[in-house]
Amino acid sequence: MAEKKDHGGQEKQKASPAERLARKLKKREKQRAANIVRASEMHAERIAFKTPDAQSHNKLETFNIGCSGWFYWHWRGGFYPAEMPTKSWFSHYSDNFPTVELNAPFYSWPTVKTVKEWLRQMEGKDFVYTVKVCELITHVKRMSRTRTLVEDFGLIADLLGEKMGCFLFQLPPSYHYSAARLKTLLGQLDPSRRNVVEFRHKSWWNERVYAAFRKTGTIFCSCSGPRLPDELVKTADDVYIRFHGLTKWYRHDYTDEELQLWVSRIRDSGCKRVWAYFNNDRDGHAIRNAKEFTRQLRAL
């Protein structure tokens, strides 16, 4: 096994794959324990929160196109100039895109202080956040008896105000369709929010689901991803698409023709607003693809 020097000059053995996995699992365990505490703290914040007398409503763009996340070390030297400090990365990103899909809240339930920092960093810009809902709700509790947690997480939208886009609820591949699950899932959502649900099992692509989503105004997330139905599903005035890659997750570089297919689907759907986020962050494909997709949409 290869060895390297640590800062003290001593030989330090490189971690094996098993050791790296063990560290990752330990970190995830700590995050999940912390999420329970943070959720409890946000519950108290929500109960004490006073809604402003005159709530502002955001005038959203027709096309809200961006990337799934913005802080990737492998974008340094490419999208982010090598000499640019990380504290300037978000400003650079928001100069190029009007929105971002925040993935970090999925792993770590954000604090009120964190949400206020999101507001501060976009001050003076026409920009909206879409927030991926914490896995405590979607993966740990699997949308069962989570209504209070969903309401607590919804405080994020109240804090962001006009800067709030969608809440993205992503369910795991093991979460297969059943009529009971569909009823339970929709019963947990707060209809006053802009809710998007992303499934990772193809059994959810069926007319019973679509009808229930239309009835509740829930947005069905269309996916471009391996082994998932390749189609645009419209269950509300807004459509929402996540681009993960065609044959490999997070690595595919979409051609102009592949993007044009989705543009045609959007045109034919008659939707009023588009949300699309590129999750193929490898080699900066998401950056190039999101810009090209925006160009094609605006050329309609």
Confidence of residue 5 (pLDDT cuts 50, 70, 90): very low
Of 24 and 219, the one with more pLDDT: 219
Q: What is the CATH number of domain 16-49+61-298?
A: 3.20.20.410
Report domain extents, the chain.
Answer: 16-49+61-298
pLDDT digits (tens, 9 = 90+) for 190-222: 999 999 999 999 999 999 999 999 999 999 999
Q: Which of 250, 255, 247, 197 is nearest to 227 (CA)?
A: 247
In percent, the amount of the chain with pLDDT more than 90 equals 84
Confidence of residue 9 (pLDDT cuts 50, 70, 90): very low
Tokens 């009023």 belong to 272
Radius of gyration of the chain (CA): 20
Measured in residues, the chain has a length of 300
> For residue 112, what pLDDT is reported?
97
pLDDT digits (tens, 9 = 90+) for 51-81: 765 555 567 999 999 999 999 999 999 999 9
pLDDT digits (tens, 9 = 90+) for 224-241: 999 999 999 999 999 999
Distance CA 213, CA 98 (A): 27
> For residue 18, what pLDDT is reported?
82
Of 55 and 283, the one with more pLDDT: 283
Q: Is the pLDDT of residue 6 over 60?
A: no
pLDDT digits (tens, 9 = 90+) for 96-154: 999 999 999 999 999 999 999 999 999 889 999 999 999 999 999 999 999 999 999 99
Q: Is the pLDDT of residue 14 over 80?
A: no
CB 32 within 8 A of CB 244: no
Rounded to two decimals, the pTM is 0.91
> For residue 53, what pLDDT is reported?
57
